[in-house]
Structure 1
């Protein structure tokens, strides 16, 4: 009984170490589900240095193109998060569609006020073009 309790405690502690997505990324996915890819991009870049960047907003076209092949957006999963210092974070996310997955990489930056904003992001159907190879192939 003590062994089982110890294992459960250990699993809970490992689970608590996993970092959730920050609000800026979650809000983008909420917008994606409710209002489409353009609103997702607008939510992701809100209050950031790329907020009014038309090239960033144009990435919604890439997500629309993906939907044409993979079907509708269904949800997302956090694969890995990593702190890159006190104010910078990396999030590797899979975006799930009806017929396939898209790999995403988000870099965020924490402002002096403590708000996490988007630094950059990238999406691709080919994992090698977005995620580091050692994350995929365990090199």
Structure 2
């Protein structure tokens, strides 16, 4: 009985380590995509975000770069970015909320990264300038 309990505990622990690992990899991929964005623009950013995922080179997904162009028209060039939150969704998927800080204001990126056969790549991403539309209330007000 003790062996079964120990195996169960180790199984739960290893699942959490694997899930955390996918979020670590996804956060690094997001950070690398931001560096590409700073140097090469929104289309290059979206290509980098989608790299290794099932939507790599999908023209509809790449059109998300238009949303970044609209944000830049009002907020100016991107200056910095960071990951605000990660949440493992199973052992191979990580939900990320990132902040993109432009010269004149912030925007938020929401992405789901998935660890597949090619590596970690986004399966979805969208942008929002209003934090209250995507961030949990406890994140905004304490």
Alignment check: 8 A CA contact 1:87 1:109 kept = yes
What TM-score results when the alignment is normalised by the length of structure 2?
0.74
Segments of 5+ residues of structure 2 without an aligned counterpart are 1-19
- After TM superposition, the structure 1 = structure 2 runs for residues 32-43 of structure 1, keeping only pairs within 5 Å, are 32-43=37-48
Q: Aligned to 1:22, what secondary structure does the other structure show?
A: helix
Tell me whether 1:90 sits opposite 2:91 in the alignment.
no
CA distance in 2: counterparts of 1:27 and 1:76, whole angstroms: 11
Deviation at 1:133, TM superposition (A): 4.2
Paired residue for 1:129, among 127, 133, 140? 133
Tell me whether 1:117 sits opposite 2:121 in the alignment.
yes
Segments of 5+ residues of structure 1 without an aligned counterpart are 1-16
- After TM superposition, the structure 1 = structure 2 runs for residues 49-60 of structure 1, keeping only pairs within 5 Å, are 49-60=54-65
CA distance in 2: counterparts of 1:24 and 1:97, whole angstroms: 20
CA distance in 1: counterparts of 2:97 and 2:107, whole angstroms: 11
CA distance in 2: counterparts of 1:22 and 1:126, whole angstroms: 22
Corresponding residue for residue 81 of structure 1: 86
Q: Aligned to 2:57, what secondary structure does the other structure show?
A: coil
RCO higher in structure (CA 8 A, sep ≥6) = 2
CA distance in 1: counterparts of 2:78 and 2:96, whole angstroms: 19
Q: Deviations over 1:65-98 (max 9, x none)?
A: 1111111100102211111121111111110001
What TM-score results when the alignment is normalised by the length of structure 1?
0.76
Q: Deviations over 1:38-82 (max 9, x none)?
A: 100011111211112222111111111111111110010221111
Paired residue for 1:24, among 24, 29, 32? 29
CA distance in 1: counterparts of 2:36 and 2:93, whole angstroms: 24
Corresponding residue for residue 52 of structure 2: 47
